[in-house]
Structure 1
Amino acid sequence: MEKSNWSANQRGRGRGRGRGGRRWEAVSGGGRAGSSSDWRGSGGDGRGGEEEQQQCRSSGPSTGGGGRGGGGGGRGGGGGRGAGRGKSVQYVPVRERLADPLTSMHPEFERMDISESASQSSLPAGTEITPCKRPDSGGKSAVRFIKLLVNHFPVNFDPQCTMLQYDVDIKPVAQGHQRSNIELSKFDLSTIKNKLFSMDPAQFPVSKTAFDGERIICSAVELPTGVFNVDLPRGRGRNARYECTIKLVNELSLDRLEAFLNGNLSVVPRQILQGMDLIMKQNQNRLRIGRSFYSTHFDSKDDLGNGIYASRGYQHSLKTTAQGLVLNVDYSVLPFIKPVGVLDFLWFTLQIDYRNGISPRQKKQIEDALKGLKVKVTHRTTRQKFTISGLTKENINDIVFPLDDPEGKTQPKRVRLVDYFVDKYKKPIKHRNLPSLDLSKNGNMNYVPMEFCELIEGQRYPKEELKGEEARYFRRISLANPGDRRDKICEIVKARDGPLGGDCAKNFNIQVSLKMTEASARIIKPPDLRLGDSQGRSIKCPITREDCQWSFMDKHVPLGRQIEQWAILDLSEGRLNSDRFVGSLITRSSKLGIFMKEPVYYKKCGMDVLSNPDDLRGLLRHIHSKAHRLQILVCVMSRKDSGYKNLKWISETETGILTQCSLVWHANDVNEQYLSNLALKINAKLGGSNVELFDRLPHFEGDGHVMFIGADVNHPPPRNTSCPSIAAVVATMNWPAANRYAARIRPQEHRKEEIQNFGDICLELIHTYGRLHRVKPEKIVVFRDGVSDGQFLMVLNEELMDLKRTFESDGYSPTITVVVAQKRHQTRLFPKDNNRKANVSPGTVVDQTIVHPQDFDFYLCSHHGTLGTSKPCHYTVIYDEHGFSSDEMQRIIYNLCYTFARCTKPVSLVPPIYYADLVAYRGRLYQEALTGYSPLSIASSASVSSSTLSPSSISSFSERAFKLHGNLENAMFFC
């Protein structure tokens, strides 16, 4: 192997800093000092733990898929890969004038795990809108004050320390027929980097550097720069050569972070935080999955059966707070696929007997399950990992392919796959009646029989695919009660293989306290609600229960719809007790003040009709013609089925029929609570009102209409490269009740978070409001979901500015406030008392100590958690033309959480965003229905459908798939 010689005049690694391991005083700024025994060096990452429990049981069957958008795309930076190898080695000395800043070269550095990308505004420099600051010292309103423990662990750092950032460009060197533009995986890049560092550990000290797995290295010492060659074996006695170019691109002094925490710098030094976050992730003792770390040891007690096991781990991230820099650590559990042979996976996990061949349906099931999973091969020696792109069309016995002459002297000859494995590897193929795995990449055909492939470790299994006892056990170990979760987090922080177990952070002079943060919290008063009595009069309903739930016992909804024209589509395959179900639903609805007559039409049909869009379209049109002036169609299904998406897409965009789905075992059970939920959903879809606030919202007591807008974007799975993202915007259509919404759905550029034409969408909803009330709202509050701290500027300078320009062109000038809601964080609140099983009470708000040092933000736990540990929602007011105080904004959001149509208790997320999330997911179902693509596979995060759409086709796709039928444009069809 060729080894580069180091330059004789290379500068020393220490550069006279001399700050090594000395102690220092705790940095000023409040509450970060601790006794030396409470501090340790550290390492790690994080994303917000398991999803909270579902707030209200939905009566409609869930089909999974289309979840919230995940992590970012592929490698960025630096343009295409160059070919050939350099003739000489050039070293770049450290100078006062450094190379281009790292973020200008590699935008992906801005999306490192501490936040999503810090978006660049299109406005001229100096004209950007920045997030507004906290208007006061925090809220004062409370029914009582409490003390909490928070999973924030204070971090101490040396402000005199400087981090060196290096760009590492790794590309293969062309050799013979090997191409030089081959895309390298993170595994390949890490292997090559590790090999380079092992060549000279003195010059490349691993424990004093942090690598992001792609192009970025943060170092505590100077590293050699220049071009280096690395050789790695690639099998059959041959080596692959790679060219590594290392360039110093930035020096970051931590005194800027200290200045920000002390209030002397108004903008967070994001590059410094991202570099420190990278340092904290260097944990070699655990398996890293995204932003989380899991044990590499399989514990038999966590075996879920059927080739699936649960692994316990943690997520962690750095945060800047009012008390200083903290490490936010949370407990996490994920299901994984056991690293077994592919045939064993078919047998145990998919429960398919493959010995006598497989049916077309089974082949589709296998392909959906395997696509995107990684395997290693057993017929030859190699460390390479391969990604399954699909199955071959033919069975192995029928596969013939062209085999190139390695010397290029003769034309390729056609060879049978079974003969090739015998001649080349002395491996006869046993299961010739099965298709082969297609492991092709970069245009190179690679077919390998399943019997020679094994799944590698560390591959997630979708939680929604768990069934029966395995699902119940997984839920039991992942939903730890507050006391248990707090203990687990403290154990993780102290563990040798935990986030503080490595040497990397110590070498950067970073210390972390072992004690959780103590914070003060307030519990704010719940609102009084407006319900109805049997005479149709409004009555005041105070909230008296500890869990803030209310009851319809002897009460009606404020506005119940008369339901005279409705029909039933019976898809239960003969299992529905229709008389009992219909009679019970009518009776229960009438007790709620929702008066239903007998259905005007009843149709029986098999579930298979849902899988055929043409047949389903004809069926719905037939029902529509038979049931004149149909208000709603209740569909009773025998099981959860992927055809659900076809039903919703066709009924809501083509035939204009509102549908309400129910599973047959729920319908036959005629449980009072279930029937109440069903009736409430039907009433909301038809324009009724299920609950209202008795008093007007704070700050809006005067005249003038107010509108609340919710906005969200649903992204395709992380490795999907072509499906559009789905933007959803909802807006209230009544005031002062503010509980009836209209929605709009738009597809947009793949994985683009900025909502395109946001102003036009909102103006359309404003005009709808104007037609309904003959007046436009004077005040607007926009709630935005799905964006990180680093994207606040995008929301302000792109979406908000587009909204203002659109309104201005229409001669409309309301006052506007913008609030961002974030649920994908790891902050957990634990009551500081002896009740280990109790969650914080609904209405718990924290706006000191753990919040942003300057911005207008707070944590609000608005719901009552009965399972696991409640996760508060993090709200940040980033723009405010109304002059809200902390108390006013907190009460507005908390009170709105009582107006969600499907529940008789407050929900965890402000309804405009809750509904926007439901609508964006509904849009994803539309797209899946049209394209036939579904992420409901084992490798959903890696599956890409051949029928997905290019960005150029998004416009026409919108016209076909997302235009709501006129009958439903202003209905809460998504409820």
Structure 2
Amino acid sequence: MDDLERTRPAQRSGYGSEGYKLTLHANFFELCIPRGLLLYRYHIAFTYDEKTPEISKSLCSNLIMSMIEEHFSDYVGGIVTDGKQNIISKHKLLPGVYTTQQDRSSYELSLKLTGTLLMSDLLNQLETSGEVLPNTRYTPVEHIQALNIILGHYPKFSRHILSPTSNSHFALDTQRISLVAGLHILRGLSLTVRAAQTRLLCNARLVHTICHDECPLDYAMISFIRENGPNMAKLAGFLRGLRIEPTHLPRLRSGRARIKRIAGLAMPEDGDKNTHLPVISRFAAGPKDVLFYRESKAPASQAEVAVTENGSKKRKRAALEGMVSVYEYFRAVYGIEIQDSSLPVLNVGSPSNPSYMPPQVCWLLPNQLSRAPLTAVQTQRLSNICTRNNHDGATNLGRELSRILGSGDSTRESNLENFGLAVARDMITVPGRVLKSPAVIYRDKCNANVRSGAWSSHGVKVGENFRCSRWTFLRITYASTVDKRALDDRSLDRTIEMLYCKMKELGLDIGNFWHPGLRVSLNDKGHVGKGADPLAGALERFTELSHRSPLSLLLVILPRYDEHLYSRIKMLCDIKKGIRNVCVIESKLARANGQFLANLALKINMKLGGMNQLLDESSLGLIGDGRTMVVGVDVTHPSSGRLYPKLPSVAAMVASVGPLLGQWPGMMHVQPAGQEIVPTIGSLLQSRLRVWQAANNEALPENILVYRDAVADRQYQGILDVELLDMRKACREVYHAKSRCRTEEDRLPRITVVLVGKRHHARFTLSTTKTERFHRREQKQDKNPVAGTVVDRGVTDGQMWDFYLQSHAAPRGIAHPAHYIVIFDEIFSGTSESRESPTDAIQRLTYNMCYLVGRSTNAASICPAVFYADLLCSRGRCYLTELLRQGELETGSTELNLHKNVRDTMFYT
């Protein structure tokens, strides 16, 4: 598709004016650059041969810096790099191939000029105040990337700063906060250059990361086992990829340590490339149970028996040949007696060519990030620390920024000054507006008392419900575990009765409880193995009971949070059996109060097809007339560092079925891992249009308002070129078969696509004016703006139609607003039915919809379309995890076919 024929992103349609005004501090600092600054951009490539080992990230950075210092020493102050493949210079460098040395090895680096960047082009485009210049790219990506490289150069190559990513930097000389179990917390900054209206800004936000303590590795392993239990699979995930220094080996001649990387724990499948396979009794075996083959390198008559002291540069070879245990090898060769042989042996080679080492001779190197899952105690402690630090650090953000950027470093000149860049010391202020909260309505037009984005469900009844004939529970226990917090039979019956009364109180039309419920006992692995599956048998029993006397709901009581067990239950209920179900952890049910039971009842009503809270017709704008379908789209990807790297990505779509926005049935598709653009979005939309037809007397919507989980800036055009095009094609097929209008344009609905960003770093806090102090007293908070605060000036994009909306109240920490980008619009700007501005209309509608997330009595932080699509993606990931565990997953071709009993319901809530 030619660039001129592409659909351009929507331009800003003015600014909003609704709501009362206030002034906010934003975590942005103005960035000044010389208008005449000319930058040269170069690409670095490494020349490999068959004998050259793979170049690591740290070695890559060192080689690039060595090349700059050796061959361009006169221009060092005016050259920066991202340490990967890009060099930015204010001096013109000679392209070519350059050789540099590292650890007595020679490397060749190819330097190639890829373009010049004149900063006046960027500044001129910003000063157009949103007007897209002809024959120019929409976003100056190369200019912004170059400025980000300049900002990140100093912290990346400073010894006292840890930079795990290109824009996250953590000072190592600050106080470290212990997280127990061999972990600690570091505080740092995330820095990004942003192009705003008429100016450039540096976005700085306090962030935290978790690192491993520098300590003996066996101590770290014992601490982990003490906190997480003797689960060797979790321990392997905790250790995989960590760098260690062997303490029994001498250092290199250069004085540098011998660094090894842990590939995993010893496994029976290791060594498939070795002539003599190692003998390993079990996964994570100890040093006495791991045997490897040791060849003889000297005649038998000359076999040595003497061994030198530990750490000596020269040692005689011990008389050990054939299959030798790791325990015997270290005792004979190094004179090291392994005291604790219960700890598993490490593999510091590879699964195909292993190299074994006991943890007692390993020293865990400092400043390594931890990607292992945290325990509940660690998660709570981390949350408390981050909340406190975010509040305390917001006022000192400018000082932290100067430190990270090296502005106060007297030992070397800051690279910002070398390029003529300057970052302001104070945060900017921006104008904000607070929108009026909508009226939340329950049955019989009973209005809830909304205050600071929250209200109570006491004394009200749900807006609409459906008949639930009978229901029962399934209680799961572990045969080998006795939990003192577990409910006895009498307490369980009493709690179930309290839940039943709460559902009746909220107006649910729910039938009697089928007593005595179902019970199943599993082993600690959730019954993994051959033979009859008691969990599947219990669900089959529920199905049989439903045939005799209708049962509409199953309450599943879990012994504890167990991802594997939860995924298995959802797989069996949603796909295999078609049972509407709600899961609850027994310990939470045991201490349940009225609010907990009310929230549980609200979830049950949504799963049964009911609607909880409603809004009056005036709050829903054009949706209230019943001609607009609201759609939510999200994509979830397999998490890095998890035990399931083979999982594909899941794309999910939910859609409203009427003007009340109470029910959002959805559908999922599987696509290749890491793919963000949804090529099958057309078929997803067609399925939602058919559900809309069935619920609206075969009528089709005139407007389709799509809220799409945000993608990276570089993928905006892909949303328009692929997804929007496919949605239009899907509409043509459906509407052509239904409509009898004269022209094709009359048949097709108007479409608006809004991206919803959740993972950005923009934060807003109240200033100290009299008005803002009043808002603080109203919310009983110190810094956060009131729910309904919208910002569309000062920090928003100069060309995109975007705005920030904080729709919720944050009782703890700094509130995280959502970032909405109207990337395409045919509804609000393309009609003159309403006299209000398109900007006010979409901002007010988006905010009001946040009060319709039916799982709680609080306004959500994002609109319900994306909120529910995210939940559906999470449910799809549960199914894929279970399919992978059962060996039934075929990446890229798996279909998640829901059972017909739950297909068009909100089963995923």
1:128 equivalent in structure 2: 6
TM-aligned CA distance change 1:554 to 1:478, over 3 Å: same
Partner residue of 1:664 out of 579, 586, 589: 586
| Counterparts of 1:398 and 1:610, CA distance in 2 | 25
Q: What CA deviation, in whole Å up to 9, does each residue of 1:904-949 have, x standing for no partner?
A: 121100111011111111111222222239xxxxxxxxxxxxx796
Shift in Å at residue 604 of structure 1?
2.0
Change (3 A) 1:385 1:683: farther
- Tell me the equivalent position of 2:67: 196
Q: TM-score w.r.t. structure 1 length?
A: 0.77
Q: Which residue of 1 aligns with 2:552?
A: 631
Residue aligning to 2:715: 791
Residue 251 (structure 1) aligns with:
116
CA RMSD of aligned residues (A): 2.9
Structure 1 gaps of 5+ residues are 1-122, 234-238, 354-358, 408-412, 533-537, 934-946
Name 2:900's counterpart in structure 1: 966
Cα distance between partner residues in 1 of 2:224 and 2:560: 21
Q: Which residue of 2 aligns with 1:817?
A: 752
| Structure with a larger share of its residues in helix | 2
Aligned pairs for 1:586-625 within 5 A: 586-601=500-515, 602-608=517-523, 611-612=526-527, 614-625=533-544
How has the CA–CA distance of structure 1 residues 713 and 458 changed in structure 2, closer, same or farther, with 3 Å as cutoff? farther
> Is the 8 Å Cα contact of residues 897 and 908 (structure 1) preserved in structure 2?
yes
Question: Aligned partners of 2:674 and 2:650: how far apart in 1?
Answer: 10
Inter-partner Cα distance in structure 1 for 2:475 and 2:539: 13
Following TM superposition, by how much is the alpha carbon of 1:711 offset from its aligned partner in structure 2, in angstroms? 0.8
Structure 2 counterpart of 1:756: 679
Query: Hey, what does 2:106 align to over in structure 1?
Result: 241
What's 2:277 paired with?
none
Aligned to 2:232: 363
Count of paired positions: 803
The reply on whether 1:745 has 2:668 as its aligned counterpart is yes
**Kept after mapping to 2: 8 A contact 1:707/1:738:** no
Secondary structure of the structure 1 residue equivalent to 2:677 = coil
Structure 2 residue identity aligned to 1:656: G
Q: Does the CA-based 8 Å contact 1:572-1:637 persist in structure 2?
A: yes
Deviation at 1:154, TM superposition (A): 0.7
Is the 8 Å Cα contact of residues 732 and 739 (structure 1) preserved in structure 2? no
Query: What residue identity is the alignment partner of 1:160?
Result: G
Q: Which residue of 1 aligns with 2:763?
A: 828
Residue in structure 2 matching 1:898, options 834, 851, 860:
851
User: Is the contact made by 1:528 and 1:541 (CA closer than 8 Å) also made in structure 2?
Assistant: yes
> Residue 575 of structure 1 aligns to which amino acid in structure 2?
L
Contact 1:439-1:445 at 8 Å conserved across structures: yes
Partner of 1:557: 462
Write the letter of the residue equivalent to 1:294: F
The Cα of 1:768 is off from its aligned counterpart by 1.9
| Cα distance per residue 1:309-368 (max 9 Å; x no partner) | 121111111101114100001112233221222211111222289xxxxx9x64333223
2:311 matched to which residue of 1? none
Q: State the shift of 1:838 in Å.
A: 3.9
Structure 1 residues 877 and 496, CA gap change in structure 2 (3 angstroms): closer
Q: In the TM superposition, what is the alpha-carbon distance from 1:686 to its structure 2 partner?
A: 0.6
For 1:10, the equivalent position in structure 2 comes to none
Amino acid at match of 1:870: A
Tell me whether 1:575 sits opposite 2:487 in the alignment.
Answer: yes
Q: Which residue of 2 aligns with 1:268?
A: 139
Instruction: Select 2:816's aligned residue among 871, 889, 894.
Output: 871
Structure 2 counterparts to residues 470-481 of structure 1, below 5 A:
470-480=378-388
* Preserved CA contact (<8 Å) 2:828 2:842: no
Distance 1:902 1:615 in 2: 31
Query: Which segment is superposed worse, 452-461 or 892-901?
Result: 452-461
Instruction: State the 1:295 CA deviation.
Output: 2.4
Greater relative CO, 1 or 2 (CA 8 Å, sep 6+): 1
SS of 1:281's equivalent? helix
TM-superposed deviation, 1:398: 4.6
Change (3 A) 1:292 1:384: farther
State how far apart, in whole Å, the 1-side matches of 2:215 and 2:233 are.
Answer: 21
Q: Which runs of 5+ in 2 are unaligned?
A: 268-279, 299-320, 479-485, 737-747, 830-837
1:541 partnered with 2:447: yes
Q: State the one-letter code of the partner of 2:464.
A: L
Does the 8 A contact of 1:726 with 1:745 survive in 2? Answer: no
Tell me the equivalent position of 1:349.
Answer: 224
What corresponds to 1:114 in structure 2? none
Partners of 2:2 and 2:617 in 1: CA distance = 44
Partner of 1:9: none
Question: Which of residues 781, 806, 823 is equivalent to 1:861?
Answer: 806
Equivalent residues in 2 for 1:185-584 (5 A)?
A: 185-199=56-70, 202-203=73-74, 205=76, 207-233=77-103, 239-263=104-128, 266=133, 267-282=138-153, 283=155, 284=158, 285-290=160-165, 291-297=167-173, 299=175, 302-351=177-226, 362-380=231-249, 381=251, 383=257, 385-393=259-267, 394=280, 395=285, 396-401=287-292, 416=324, 418=326, 434-441=343-350, 444-461=353-370, 465-468=374-377, 470-480=378-388, 484-495=392-403, 503-532=414-443, 538-541=444-447, 543-545=449-451, 547-571=452-476, 575-576=487-488, 577-584=491-498
Shift of 1:505: 1.8
Change (3 A) 1:261 1:386: farther
Q: Which residue of 2 aligns with 1:736?
A: 659
Q: Secondary structure at the match of 1:878?
A: strand
Identity %: 25
Distance (whole Å) between structure 2 residues aligned to residue 459 and residue 685 of structure 1: 44
Q: Which residue type is aligned with residue 808 of structure 2? A: H
Match of 1:66 in 2: none
Structure 1 residue 842, shift from structure 2 partner: 0.9
1:699–1:554: structure 2 CA closer, same or farther, 3 Å change rule? closer
CA distance in structure 2 between the aligned counterparts of 1:416 and 1:169, rounded to whole angstroms: 45
Distance 1:518 1:248, change over 3 A: same
2:694 aligns to what?
Answer: 771
Q: Aligned partners of 1:665 and 1:867: how far apart in 2? A: 25
Q: Secondary structure at the match of 1:350?
A: helix
What is the CA deviation profile of residues 147-187 of structure 1, one whole-angstrom value per residue up to 9, with x for unaligned ones? 1111111110012112222221224555xxxx33x432201
Alignment partner, residue 648 of structure 1: 570
Q: What is the rounded CA distance, in whole Å, between the counterparts of 2:906 and 2:81 in structure 1?
A: 48
**Residue 894 of structure 2 is aligned to residue 931 of structure 1:** no
Distance 1:313 1:496 in 2: 8
Query: Displacement, 1:795?
Result: 0.7
Letter in 2 for 1:582: I
Q: CA deviation at 1:527?
A: 1.3
Give the TM-score of the pair, scaled to structure 2: 0.83
Conserved? CA contact 1:308–1:349, under 8 Å: no
Please tell me whether the aligned partners of residues 692 and 739 of structure 1 are also in contact (alpha carbons under 8 angstroms): yes
Q: Which amino acid aligns with 1:527?
A: P
Distance 1:826 1:763 in 2: 35
Aligned to 1:585, what secondary structure does the other structure show?
A: helix
* CA–CA separation in structure 2 for the residues paired with 1:277 and 1:652: 46
Take 1:630 and 1:530, find their aligned partners in 2: how far apart are those partners? Answer: 30
Deviation at 1:129, TM superposition (A): 1.1
- State the AA in 2 paired with 1:794: G
Matched residue, 1:79: none
For structure 1, which segment, 339-348 or 190-199, has the greater mean C-alpha deviation from structure 2 after superposition? 190-199
Q: Which moved more, 1:339-348 or 1:686-695?
A: 339-348
Change in 2 beyond 3 A, CA 1:565/1:554 = same
The answer on whether the counterparts of 1:527 and 1:543 sit within 8 Å (CA) in structure 2 is no
Secondary structure, in 3 states, of the residue corresponding to 2:751? strand
Look up the equivalent residue of 1:476 and give its one-letter code. N
State the one-letter code of the partner of 2:526.
S
TM-fit CA distance, 1:854: 2.0
Decide whether aligned partners of structure 1 residues 385 and 275 sit closer, same or farther in structure 2, where only a CA change above 3 A counts.
Answer: farther
